[in-house]
Amino acid sequence: ELESTVSITVVGASGDLAKKKIFPALFALFYEDCIPKHFTIFGYARTRLTDEEMRNMISKTLACRIDKRANCSDKMEQFLQRCFYHSGEYGLEENFSELDRKLKEQEGSMQCLAQIVGRLANRLFYLSIPPNIFVDVVRCASRSASSPTGWTRVIVEKPFGRDSQSSAELTQSLKQYLTEDQIFRIDHYLGKELVENLSVLRFSNLVFEPLWSRQFIRNVQLIFSEDFGTEGRGGYFDNYGIIRDIMQNHLLQILALFAMETPVSLAAEDIRNEKVKVLRSMRVLQLDDVVVGQYKGHTKGGRSYPAYVDDPTVPKGSLTPTFAAAALFIDNARWDGVPFLMKAGKALHTGRAEIRVQFRHVPGNLYKRNFGSDLDKATNELVIRVQPDEAIYLKINNKVPGLNMRLDRSNLNLLYAARYPIEIPDAYERLLMDAIEGERRLFIRSDELDAAWAIFTPVLKELEEKRIAPELYPYGSRGPVGAYYLAAKHNVRWGDLS
Ligand code: BG6
């Protein structure tokens, strides 16, 4: 295999995401030898910093995930020596030409050191910047700082537009400068361990795959909750709301992986083809299948928690939802009539992301009378807890040991912490590694994105045009009661509440 070099430029290097996620993920990859041997990292932002200042800035957040007790300062020092900084405007080509010169310098010295002169110098750009400057940066980077010899790839973070039209426009603009192959649209939920495991669970266990359809599954629930509010991110959030922030991407991506048909192979295009098919089979979401909420201030245990509209970065009187529940349907042979319920909210009583699969009743259940009148309580439920405390458990009915016949619900329980006593990699580590390797399986293709927006765009428009007021719920509560009614309308009981 030919050796090549890779330069990773993080555009927006002084931002939160870069500091909290991207640099630590790059360091973890370096620590684990999962990054090409000859690499260099550049931070790019408007703030004026020297290389040393940038190293200081990021060294504070490079906490060693690998082994929290290990002393990784040597490795950290080696890593920091490969980090450089260039300050420039986001829309100025000459600033990117300067970056290009610096990149060439580093690439040259890496090639010299490794005696691999003449081999490819690959470049990856990570756009950790607001969407209104995506296109400017891509224009400048592709014109003035793309690799003359190897590949150039660009990772973009959501939001990819606000609706079908703006998303299509963004795609069009990016494609003036990049091919679809060069664009890596990130959805970090796809890098999470339990989301990655979904296909393994389904397609390599005989006990699950045959049950994976309307014949045996009554409903599927995708639940995301956070126990904190927008906390200073209100400026961004208010423009998008929870449906665009979480449902249209993170939860919908999980749904697509959950519900897709068996792909021809594990190749990226085969998987993405199946995801697009399932998304395109989905019914456009209707207003009466959505409940929106917004958190209000609340005092608990002598502490007071702010309302969403108290966030100084949120406009007064904002109607932006911080909570939403929705009932979605896939109109294909496998899933006809099965409700897929989504629920996502900020400032709720707990922080959790999980998938709940509720199975049908056992026909002619011999033990009916042991469950009283509530047969729902006796159905099996498979829970995939994405975070925290990663776990997969199956609720089954079991006889309580003893002389009489008493049943209870027990869990067949796979707790990751007990079974796999290792630190689970952060989603960004896997995704960065994949982007460097050119593995596109976990990135969103443009037709997938179009299909995803098509499901949500009409209802988003309607909510905004009709200025539908969100149902207020207290900070730290279980969210608006409307979510119960929505579920009940579809004969569903939320698994996380029962
Ligand atoms: C981001 C959203 O995509 O995901 C945030 O913009 C949210 O609002 C975050 O807090 C949640 O990610 P995680 O990995 O912490 O669950």
Mean pLDDT (10-residue bins), the chain, 498 residues: 86 94 95 94 97 94 71 89 97 97 94 79 96 96 95 96 97 96 97 97 95 98 97 91 98 98 97 98 98 96 94 95 98 98 98 97 85 79 97 96 92 96 93 97 97 98 98 97 98 89
Test site for ligand 1: of 246, 323, 426, most ligand atoms within 8 A of the Cβ: 246
The question of whether 250 is a catalytic residue gets the answer yes
Q: Are 123 and 182 a contacting pair, CB within 8 Å? A: no
Q: pLDDT at position 368, please?
A: 81
CA angle at residue 258 from 463 to 340, to 5 degrees?
A: 40
Token digits of residue 246:
């979480």
Mutation test residue for ligand 1: of 156, 188, 222, the one with most atoms within 8 Å of CB: 188
For ligand 1, the distance from its centroid to the CA atom of residue 225, given in whole angstroms, is 10
Residue 255 · residue 222 · CB < 8 Å: yes
Please give the Cα distance from 174 to 169 (Å, whole number).
Answer: 9
Q: Which atom of ligand 1 lies closest to the CA of 158?
A: 3
Distance (Å) of CA 125 to CA 138, 153, 186, 226, 449: 9, 6, 13, 30, 21
Mutate to test the pocket of ligand 1, among 196, 238, 239, 245 (most ligand atoms within 8 A of CB): 245
Which of 407, 410, 416 lies closest to 396, judged by CA? Answer: 410
Q: Give the pLDDT score at 69.
A: 60
Phi, psi of 222 (to 5 degrees): -120, 115
Q: Which amino acid is at 260?
A: M
Q: Are 86 and 99 in contact (CB under 8 A)?
A: yes
Which pairing describes strands 340-345 and 352-359: parallel, antiparallel, or unpaired?
unpaired
Phi first, then psi: give them for residue 25, nearest 5 degrees: -65, -40
Q: How many Å lie between the centroid of ligand 1 and the Cα of residue 155?
A: 17
Does ipTM surpass 0.85 in this model? yes
In whole angstroms, give the CA distance from residue 242 to residue 249: 10
**Is residue 46 within 8 Å of residue 88, measured between CB atoms?**
yes
Dihedral of alpha carbons 347, 351, 357, 359, sign: negative
Pocket residues: Cβ below 6 A from ligand 1 = 188, 226, 245, 353
Cα of 2 vs centre of ligand 1, distance in Å, is 38
Q: How many angstroms separate the CA atoms of 365 and 378, rounded?
A: 10
pLDDT of res. 164: 98
**Angle, nearest 10°, between helix axes 51-59 and 73-81?**
150
- Given the residues 86, 188, 250, 349, the one annotated as active site: 250
**Distance from the CA of 322 to the center of ligand 1, in angstroms?**
13
Would you state the pLDDT for residue 167?
97
- Pairing, β 381-387 against β 352-359: antiparallel
Ligand 1 mean position, distance from CA 402 (Å): 47
In angstroms, the Cα distances linking 420 to 202, 389, 393, 427 are 20, 12, 15, 17
Q: Measured between alpha carbons, how far is 477 from 145 in angstroms, rounded to an integer?
A: 49
What is the residue with the minimal CA distance to atom 13 of ligand 1? 189
Distance between CA atoms of 112 and 38, rounded to whole angstroms? 11
Length of the chain: 498
Please give the number of the atom of ligand 1 that sits closest to the Cα of 230: 8
- How many Å apart are CA 184 and CA 431, to the nearest integer? 10
Q: Rounded to the nearest whole angstrom, what is the distance from the C-alpha of residue 474 to the centroid of ligand 1? A: 21
Atom of ligand 1 nearest to the CA of 353: 16
